[in-house]
Amino acid sequence: MSRKIRVIIVDDSKTGRAFIATALRRDPDIEIIGMAADPLEARDLIIKDQPDVITLDIEMPNMNGLQFLEKIMRMRPIPVVMISSLTARGAETSIEALQLGAFDCFPKPAAFSGIEAYAGLVPLVKAAAGSGAGRNSIINSVSNKSVQRKVISPEVIAIGASTGGVEALGAILPRLPSAFPPIMITQHMPPLFTASLATRLNQMCDIQVQEAEDGVPLENGHAYIAPGGTRHLHLKKIGGRLFTSLDGGEPVSGHRPSVDELFRSVAHCSGASSVGVILTGMGRDGAEGLLEMRKAGAYTLGQSAASCVVYGMPKAAMEVGAVERMVPLSSIAETLISYCKSENGGFV
């Protein structure tokens, strides 16, 4: 790249700052231009040095990370990667941070973990630095086309998301009516975070949003979010009824739960009676699974480039021919409602 990514690290722990700095400095494209022990010290650095990305610990003295994040977003929006503890409280705070505009949250490794535990922070910082670039409409002709299709009342909607997905789900689910067909969601997140996400979304929505459990029959007006980190969320059909299924196995497309796994199970069980939606996120997870859904007759949507925090997963899906229509985030809920209504205006 032509210029290094300039990063400021904000963490009240000297050890934490050292680990983060060491991990980031291993990448030649990243330069640490400052470190601060609290938000008040960080504020002066940000004004003086104008970083490209900030890593910000959520829990700090003088002003907590959420309060500081709000001030950053008002003062000068800069991509912020939050560093969050893997606790129920940390998960709730992380979801709030993502809704306030944080780029993503990185789970803080245990105290005894070595430097390698911070390696996953490097691609997050690099993606955050590029999150404002290249988000012009890349394939606008597709997103502007009206797709002529027979209107059906699908039996299930499958949604996959990663970085930026919390914001995207918060823009879509609250606009869906309570009688909407059941929704299955795989959002890349660590354990505990998905339960907090489900709770927060449930408070915002007319539909019921919950973390998925194994063997639950799907119901209209319900959304089921794959638990983070341990198992894949699948759709199963038994005796003509649809059920959730949580299954073990190795990570797929680098993830567990995997969007590809969810989409493939929906393609197999529901085929043309389903809708697939791929939202903002890094990488390629979901592209091949969405293609299987489209080949099975499902209606498939992708979030448009200009409205993505990271145009990675939808772009990969578009490139393999999995996306039937690209839609701006602001129009996805209305597109789903319009498509899913039956001829009498209902959803069943």
> Which positions are annotated as active-site residues?
162, 188, 285
| 137-142 long-range Cβ contacts below 8 angstroms, 24+ apart | 137/304, 137/305, 137/306, 138/305, 138/311, 138/315, 139/305, 139/318, 139/326, 140/304, 142/318, 142/323, 142/325, 142/326
Dist. CA 275–CA 340, nearest whole Å: 9
Cβ–Cβ contacts within 10 Å for residue 137, how many? 15
DSSP lists the bridge partners of residue 300 as: 276
Rounded to 5 degrees, what angle do the CA atoms 102, 105, 106 make? 145
Residues 6+ apart with CB under 8 A from 166: 95, 98, 99, 187, 197
**CA angle 26-57-71, nearest 5°?**
115
Mapped onto helix, strand or coil, the DSSP state of residue 344 is coil
Strands 232-238 and 241-247: antiparallel
